[in-house]
Every structure is written in structure tokens, then in C-alpha cells.
Amino acid sequence: MNTTKESVKKFVDEQFDGNFNKCARNLDLAPSTIWRIANGNGKAGIKVITNIIKYCDDKKINYRKYIFLS
């Protein structure tokens, strides 16, 4: 099970109705970056993780729903 893939896919689906472009604009990332992670072809780096956390903090969403820190 790829938890990063599933978590990012869930984030895009729940916060942006599955729209990778809208998600990428809000996170200040390339749409291809989000797409690759959500489809298991890439890994979430520090920029992706911190931008998701910042987005969640700004929207008063618990980022732990999408980001698993160990």
C-alpha cells in the first residue's frame, strides 16, 4: 500500500474535486508533480509536504488527515 499516493489522491479529491490543476495552483506546485505523486510515479518531497501542511493550516484543516509523519 502506497500511503503517500493514497493520501495525496484523497487530498486532491476532497479539497479540489479531483482537479490536479486547481490543487497545484493552490499549493504553488506544478500540476505534473501532484499528478505523479497521486498516481504512484513520484514521491512527495519536503516542498509538497510543507505546502500541503500550510494549505491545511490556512483552511483550518487537520493536515494529519492527509500527511502521515513518522
Q: In terms of Cα–Cα distance, which of 1, 8, 14, 18 is closest to 51?
A: 8
Q: Which domains occur in the chain, in start order?
A: 3-64 (1.10.260)
Q: What is the per-residue pLDDT across 42-68, written as a single tens digit (0 to 9) for each?
A: 988 999 999 999 999 999 999 998 887
Of 15, 26, 32, nearest to 67 (Cα)? 15
What amino acid occupies position 38?
Answer: A
Q: pTM for the complete prediction? A: 0.87
Contact (CB, 8 A) for 44 and 4: yes
